[in-house]
Every structure is written in C-alpha cells, then in structure tokens.
Chain A
Amino acid sequence: MRRLDELLPLLAPAALVVAVGLASTQVSRSWEISFLDALVSVAIVVAIFVFVGNSGVLSFGQISFVAVGAFAAGVLTVPLESKTFVLRDLFPILRDHELGNLTSLLLAAGVGGVFAFLVGLPLMRLSGLAAGIATFAVLEITHNVLREWTSIGPGATTLSLVPETTGPLQATLGALAVIAVAYAYGRSRLGRMLRATREDHAAAQAAGISVHRQRLWAFTLSGALAGFAGGLLVHMLGSITTEQVYLELTFVTLAMLVIGGVTSLWGAVVGALAVSGLDSFLARAEEGVDIGFTLDVPTGTRLVAVGALMALVLVLRPAGLTGGREPTIRRRRTA
C-alpha cells in the first residue's frame, strides 16, 4: 500500500495523459489537434514546474528554452531540398544536415539544456523579483535574436515544412517521458535539497546545501525538458514562428501552472489539461459551437477567461486547484 502511495504522484498524472492520448485517436481530426495540443502543453508546463515548483523561484524565461528547442528541431528536420531555397542565410552546418525525428527531439533537449545551463550560471544567484525580471529579459533576448539572426533560423518568417511527426503516440509518450523525469527528479536527493531551499532558504544554507548549485541543476533540467517539449511542439504544428513561443505562451503556461498548483507535479498536469480544455472549448465557442444550443462568444474571450481565472486563483486560492499537493490514497491527517 505504501509503495502505491509513493507511486501515485507518478501514476495519476500518467493515467490522465494516457487517457487524453487514447481519446485523441477516437475523435475527429479537428478535435485531435486540440488533444495533442493539450498533451504538448502538459510537457511544457511540467518542464516549467521542475524548476519553478521545486525552487519557488519565479521564471518568466522558460519558454525561451521551448523556443530554441522548437527552432533547433525544426530547422534541422526541414527536408534538405527545400531548406536551401527557403532558408538561404543559414550557417552551412545547419543548412546541409537533416536529422531524423528522434534525433531532432534529443537535439532539442540538448540545446535547451545547454542554453539553460549557460543562462543559469549567472542568474541562479537571484531570487524573487530580480529573478522574475532577469528571466523576463532572457525571454526578450531570445525572441529578439531568433527574430533577427537569419543565420540560425528563419528570422521573422514562418518556419514551415517541418515533418508533422507528433501524432497521438509521440505526444503521449513525450508527455509521459517528461512526467517520468520530473517525478524521478522530485524524488531524488537533488530534488529534495532544492525543495529545502524553497521552504527555508537560510536553514538550507546552514545545512550545507548550495542554493546556487541546486537551482542550476533544476534550471538546466527544466531547460532540457522544455527544449524537448519545443521539439514536440514544432513537430505537431509542422511550423513555428517566434511569436508562438513568446509572451502569450509564457502567460498561458504560467497560468496553467498557477491554476493547477505551483508546487506539485499533479498540479502542473491538472492545470495544463484543465486550461487546455477550457481554452479549446472557448476557441470553438468563438466560432460558434453546438452544445445543445449554439454558444457564440466574442473573439478574445479565451484569453480573458484564462487571465481572469488565473487572477482569481492567485487572489482567492493561491495554492491552486490541487492545493499544490500530490495525490495520496491515505486519508490526510488534519493537524
């Protein structure tokens, strides 16, 4: 029984993900995209959770790693014949190679991780407000560079012709992989040391834990997972632009994490799926959806709803839908 209780924080979100994955094969093509999008969102949000949830440090910059992962995987999987025409200014090493699906995902993870490590070396000294602002700056820099440097990517134009290899299987397996890694890290000694710094910074330092080093580990892992998720994303969409991995995605994924519950893996997954569901439903409602009667809401309602929900949760129930706790089958002692 105890073993089950230890595994529940892994099995519960995994079960949800598998359920969504299975469901996506049963629905029409247009709905399938929404389901896949939900699964990729899970991957992104869990990646963010690995750092933000365990360290208690707010980062606005994790989407930078999704971005570099997406563009790396994307640029290197565009078929060679088209690449030379469409992306003329690329560095030869990028232009002359084409990678397979799995390799591109691993590359995306690697690029995300390395980038996160380099960024984290100086930045992990910061906390609180400073960390929030500095990581926002990283997001802005990444966006600016990706947009203007045409030697590494398409710049301001859309990168298209990326093979759409993220179907139900890849999305589900990808999300499961990210969840498994997040779970393993959370249960590891490194994860516990980092959470100690979240609970009581000074005490953790006094106990000999290097706050900077633990944060850097988590930040790097988070970057690698985010890069991987970026790879999943670009292979799902078949294309990518810099605006798709910028402010709006930062806001929505942060909202998902907050609404679900910042401090638990379960919260990250629940939040991602719940908000994705709401978002997809409202996206349809903006076009007019039939739910017995026809519901037609004005364009832009989606973001209003998500924003309002996030603000409400932050003000009324800051711990989120799950209370920031993992699922357990033992009755909780009230003490």
Chain B
Amino acid sequence: MLVAAVNAQTLVDAVGLGAVYALMAVGIGLVFGVLRLVNFAYGQLVMAGAYTLAWTSAWPGAASIAACFAVVLALSIVLERTVFRPLRTQSPAVMLVTTFAVAFLLQSIALILDIRDGTIGEAASPIGSLNQAVSIGGVDVRRVTLAAIVVAAIALGLLALLLARTTMGLHMRAAAADFTTARLLGVRADRVIGLAVILSGLLAGIVAVILTVQSPLVAPDFALKETIVVLVGVVVGGLDRLWTATLGGFAIGFATGVINGALPTDKTVFLPSAVFALVILVLLLRPGGLFAPGGRTAVVERV
C-alpha cells in the first residue's frame, strides 16, 4: 500500500527536498522576524540567481556562482531600501500585497529580458557533475541531493550558532521578539535588518544553485511553486519563531517528496487542495502554527 511504495530512494530524495525548502523557509523567516513582512517575492530572488547562473553559464563555475550571489544580494538590498523600508509602518496585509506586486513585477521584467532571444527559458549548468548519482548502501543518490542536505545542514548549523552565541545574533532575536524594546536598549535597527536581509539573500543564492542543478531550465516562474509551498509550510509550522518556520518548511518539503514519490501521479492531482485546506485549518485552529507552543498567541490576528 502506501507504506510499501515508500522506499529508501524516495526517502532520501524527500529529505533533500525538505532541506532545500528548509533553507527557503529560513530566508523568509529571518526577514519576517525583523520586519514582520512576508516576502512573497522571495522566489524571485532565487529566480534572479538562477537567471544569472544561466546567463553566465559560459564562465568558469566559481565565477558564475559568485555572480549569482552578487546579483541576489544586490537585489535583496535594493528591495529592502526601496520597498520594505518605506512600508514598515503599514499593516502586514499591505506589506503582503506589495511583495505580491513586486513578485509579479520581477517576474515580468525577467520575461522581457528572457524573451529577447525569442524563446522563454535559459539553460543553466553550473556544476554538471553534481547531477550524477552515487551509490550508497544500494540506494542511488544524486550528488546534488547529498550536497543539498550537507549544505543545508551546515548553513542552518552556522546560523543557529550565530543566533545563539553572538551578540549580533542576540540583537536579531531580540528585534524579532520585541523590536521597540530592543531599540530602547540600544539595538541598531538598520544593522539588524541589514544583516537579516543579507543572510536571507545568501540563502536564496544557495537555493538558486541547488535548484538549477536539479532542473537546469530557468523560466520566469522559476521557484514560484516552491515559494508558495514553502510559504504554506512556514505558516503551518509557525511564522512567529524561526525554528518552527524552518521545521514547517522542512516538513512540507519532506511530505511533498514522500507523497509524490509514493503515490502514482493520477492520485496526487488533488494534493494541492488538501495542502491548502490544511493551511486554512491551521490558521483557524492554531494560528501560531502546528509546532508553536500553546498555539494561542500569534502574529496572525484573529477576530
């Protein structure tokens, strides 16, 4: 039955998918923590990185990846200065609509740039060798899946250390918990926000590299579906705290991977509906998220 169809292969791939989604979840969660802003346009940052990789695919690998990071970071900073900062005094709903608009804007700009050569879609191939499979304990694992898991573990581990052990991390956690009081104690708002945006951008760059290896064709809607799924995971996991958001992102990635691997395609057509129905249920019953303690208090308000 369902259990029988889940083999080691599926599990490993699912963990890999969960790892990528966890990275995106952290990227979204970091910015949300300090700005209280859900960045709908996060997928477009990944898309921009992917396009950079595609347009520099003739360059040596390291240079291409460096360009990718440069573009994503620059775009993140520009967005923060021009869009997020002026909106800080607005309600979360207005901020959501604006990032929605920015997402469409960036996607449309990408379309214009992409279609100059007559076709939609560019091919990226930064590290072709990563697509090869390695046999571990009888299971065929693509190198990129391993790389994704390892990179995600390292990145998340480093981030956890940064947040828990350093002064800057303490300031960021305080800003996420109670921004006003943190400022009263001397925490510099612009530094904390700047750091969150840069870290978020770095993670988007990492995701861009991993995703382009897995699916080398880059189109304007690159990472859009993934962003929507990750947002679902983050909300269901719990938007308020970084670790619940990350766990939510990982969980939905893992679940998606398992379900897609285990069930035949014709049985998964209504999967999106089930997932989104779950989101609504969580928002109604446990607005703090599935993993949040108590489940009562949350940034997402209720009547």
Contact of A141 with B86 in the complex, beta carbons under 8 Å: no
Given A122-B280, A145-B273, is A307 in contact with B105 using a C-beta cutoff of 8 Å? yes
A267 to B105, CA, bound (A): 22
Q: For B92, what are the chain A residues with a Cβ–Cβ distance below 8 Å? A: 128-129, 132
Q: For A308, what are the chain B residues with a Cβ–Cβ distance below 8 Å? A: 105
Of A211, A258, A298, A306, the contact of B97 (CB 8 Å cutoff): A258
Does A126 lie at the interface of the complex (its beta carbon under 8 Å from any beta carbon of B)?
yes
Instruction: For chain A, residues 241 to 274, give those with C-beta under 8 angstroms from any C-beta of chain B.
Output: 248, 251, 254-255, 258
The contact string, 1 if C-beta is below 8 Å from chain A, for chain B 259-273, is 000000000011011
A117 to B235, CA, bound (A): 24
Given A126-B303, A132-B96, is A299 in contact with B111 using a C-beta cutoff of 8 Å? yes
Q: For A298, what are the chain B residues with a Cβ–Cβ distance below 8 Å? A: 112, 115-116
Q: For B104, what are the chain A residues with a Cβ–Cβ distance below 8 Å? A: 248, 251, 303, 306-307
A211 to B115, CA, bound (A): 48
Contact of A130 with B302 in the complex, beta carbons under 8 Å: yes
Tell me the nearest residue of chain A to B236, going by C-beta.
Answer: A133
Given A126-B302, A129-B92, A315-B86, is A137 in contact with B115 using a C-beta cutoff of 8 Å? no
Contact of A211 with B303 in the complex, beta carbons under 8 Å: yes
Of B38, B98, B270, B280, the contact of A123 (CB 8 Å cutoff): B280
Does B299 lie at the interface of the complex (its beta carbon under 8 Å from any beta carbon of A)?
yes
Does B109 lie at the interface of the complex (its beta carbon under 8 Å from any beta carbon of A)?
yes
Does A76 lie at the interface of the complex (its beta carbon under 8 Å from any beta carbon of B)?
no
Given A298-B116, A300-B111, A304-B105, is A129 in contact with B272 using a C-beta cutoff of 8 Å? no
Number of chain A residues close to chain B: CB under 8 A: 47
Residue of B82, B86, B108, B303 with most chain A CB atoms under a 10 A cut-off = B303
Q: For A128, what are the chain B residues with a Cβ–Cβ distance below 8 Å? A: 91-93, 300-301
A300 to B111, CA, bound (A): 6
Instruction: For chain B, residues 47 to 75, give those with C-beta under 8 angstroms from any C-beta of chain A.
Output: none
Tell me the nearest residue of chain B to A303, going by C-beta.
Answer: B108
Does A221 lie at the interface of the complex (its beta carbon under 8 Å from any beta carbon of B)?
no
Does B100 lie at the interface of the complex (its beta carbon under 8 Å from any beta carbon of A)?
yes
Does A151 lie at the interface of the complex (its beta carbon under 8 Å from any beta carbon of B)?
no
Does B83 lie at the interface of the complex (its beta carbon under 8 Å from any beta carbon of A)?
yes
Does B153 lie at the interface of the complex (its beta carbon under 8 Å from any beta carbon of A)?
no
A127 to B102, CA, bound (A): 23
Given A298-B115, A303-B108, is A254 in contact with B280 using a C-beta cutoff of 8 Å? no
Does B135 lie at the interface of the complex (its beta carbon under 8 Å from any beta carbon of A)?
no
Main DSSP-derived SS at the A contact region: helix
Does A314 lie at the interface of the complex (its beta carbon under 8 Å from any beta carbon of B)?
yes
CB distance from B232 to the nearest CB of A (A): 8
Contact of B301 with A130 in the complex, beta carbons under 8 Å: yes
CB distance from A179 to the nearest CB of B (A): 24
CB distance from B52 to the nearest CB of A (A): 19
The contact string, 1 if C-beta is below 8 Å from chain B, for chain A 214-246, is 010000000000000000000000000000000
Given A126-B302, A251-B100, A315-B86, is A132 in contact with B279 using a C-beta cutoff of 8 Å? no
Contact of A125 with B303 in the complex, beta carbons under 8 Å: yes
Q: For B301, what are the chain A residues with a Cβ–Cβ distance below 8 Å? A: 126-130
Does A11 lie at the interface of the complex (its beta carbon under 8 Å from any beta carbon of B)?
no
Residue of B91, B93, B111 with most chain A CB atoms under a 10 A cut-off = B93
The contact string, 1 if C-beta is below 8 Å from chain B, for chain A 194-220, is 000000010000000001100100000
Given A300-B112, A304-B108, A315-B86, is A141 in contact with B272 using a C-beta cutoff of 8 Å? yes
Contact of B93 with A129 in the complex, beta carbons under 8 Å: yes
Main DSSP-derived SS at the B contact region: helix
The contact string, 1 if C-beta is below 8 Å from chain B, for chain A 110-138, is 00000000000011111111111110011
Does A6 lie at the interface of the complex (its beta carbon under 8 Å from any beta carbon of B)?
no
CB distance from A176 to the nearest CB of B (A): 28
Q: For B284, what are the chain A residues with a Cβ–Cβ distance below 8 Å? A: 122-123, 125-126, 134
Tell me the nearest residue of chain B to A133, going by C-beta.
Answer: B235
CB distance from B200 to the nearest CB of A (A): 18
A43 to B136, CA, bound (A): 60
CB distance from A24 to the nearest CB of B (A): 28
Contact of B112 with A126 in the complex, beta carbons under 8 Å: no
The contact string, 1 if C-beta is below 8 Å from chain B, for chain A 57-77, is 110100000000000000000
Contact of B108 with A300 in the complex, beta carbons under 8 Å: yes
Contacts A125-B284, A125-B303, A137-B280 aside, 17 further interface pairs with beta carbons under 8 A come to: A58-B96, A60-B100, A126-B302, A126-B303, A127-B302, A127-B303, A128-B92, A130-B287, A133-B38, A258-B97, A298-B115, A300-B115, A304-B108, A307-B105, A308-B105, A310-B98, A310-B101
* Interface set of A (CB-CB < 8 Å, partner B): 57-58, 60, 122-134, 137-138, 140-141, 144-145, 148, 201, 211-212, 215, 248, 251, 254-255, 258, 298-304, 306-308, 310-311, 314-315, 318
The 6 closest A-B pairs by CB, nearest first: A307-B105, A130-B300, A303-B108, A300-B111, A137-B276, A58-B93
Mind listing 8 A-B residue pairs with CB under 8 Å? Answer: A134-B279, A300-B111, A300-B112, A300-B115, A303-B104, A303-B108, A304-B112, A307-B104
